[in-house]
């Protein structure tokens, strides 16, 4: 089970990237979401919940091996990218803006995003990225309705 958790947690080992493993995970997620063509409404919401719960499970398992909130764990970026794209149009500008906004909020971690890291086990690993995705989604929703 640890090998499955490690493969999931590292988004099929993309988290082992020597440069910016979180960004690599977000790129993988954005590309998969773009090419899958999944409806960014309720179907993506259901998938995001499933991905998040799977990440909590994997996080709890790999923390025992890798330590708390390990850098190679980038499955949380997959969930965060999904949240950042919820209920938005499937267009290139939206995807680019969602990616940039999500990475910004994930790196800067404004309040209360930073508070979620303190949650135990996999909840802390996943929580801050889900909140960063929510912040990004709000920003892109506003831009999509006013500028795009």
Calculate mean pLDDT across residues 114-132: 86
Phi–psi pair at 74, nearest 5 degrees:
-125, 10
Q: Which of 93, 101, 106, 105 minimizes the C-alpha distance to 145?
A: 93
pLDDT at 94: 96
Q: pTM of whole model > 0.85?
A: yes
Given a cut of 80, whether residue 148 has pLDDT beyond it is: no
Q: How far apart are CA 39 and CA 123, in angstroms?
A: 26
pLDDT at 136: 98
Q: Following CA atoms 25, 26, 31, 36 in sequence, which dihedral angle do they give, to the nearest 10 degrees?
A: 90
Given a cut of 90, whether residue 1 has pLDDT beyond it is: no
Given a cut of 90, whether residue 122 has pLDDT beyond it is: no
Given a cut of 90, whether residue 86 has pLDDT beyond it is: yes
pLDDT at 57: 94
Q: Following CA atoms 115, 11, 61, 113 in sequence, which dihedral angle do they give, to the nearest 10 degrees?
A: 0
Q: How confident is the model at residue 117 (pLDDT cuts 50, 70, 90)?
A: confident
Positive or negative, the Cα torsion across 103, 105, 106, 108?
positive
């Amino acid at each position: 089970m640890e090998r499955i958790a490690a493969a999931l947690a590292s988004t099929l080992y993309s988290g082992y990237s020597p440069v910016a493993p979180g960004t690599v995970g977000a790129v993988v997620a954005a590309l998969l979401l773009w090419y899958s063509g999944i409806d960014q409404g309720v179907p993506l919401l259901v998938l995001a919940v499933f991905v998040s719960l799977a990440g909590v499970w994997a996080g709890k398992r790999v923390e025992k091996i890798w330590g708390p909130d390990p850098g190679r764990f980038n499955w949380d970026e997959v969930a965060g990218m999904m949240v950042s794209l919820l209920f938005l149009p499937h267009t290139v500008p939206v995807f680019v803006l969602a990616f940039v906004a999500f990475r910004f909020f994930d790196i800067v971690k404004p309040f209360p995003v930073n508070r979620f890291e303190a949650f135990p086990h996999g909840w802390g690993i996943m929580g801050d990225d889900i909140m960063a995705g929510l912040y990004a989604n709000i920003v892109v929703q506003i831009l999509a309705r006013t500028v795009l």
